[in-house]
């Protein structure tokens, strides 16, 4: 069973998440040949202050 972990900045709507998991599930089924029922997607939402790139917090890049 494929399990896909996704980390995103918080703020996406429920509709965006629904569309995202539907598209990722469809792509997983098409490319890996698994059933949709076996695809698990875990979404972790993070605050910009909890993520850094190049030594700089994203909350400070705005």
Which residues are the active-site residues? 2
DSSP state letters, 1-62: --EEEEEEES---HHHHHHHHHHHHHHHHHHH---GGG-EEEEEEE-GGG-EETTEEGGG--
């Amino acid at each position: 069973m494929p399990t896909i972990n996704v980390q995103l900045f918080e703020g996406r709507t429920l509709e965006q998440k629904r569309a995202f998991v539907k598209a990722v599930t469809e792509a997983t089924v098409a490319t890996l040949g698994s059933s949709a029922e076996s695809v698990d997607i875990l979404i972790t939402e993070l605050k910009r202050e909890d993520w850094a790139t190049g030594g700089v917090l994203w909350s400070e890049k705005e």
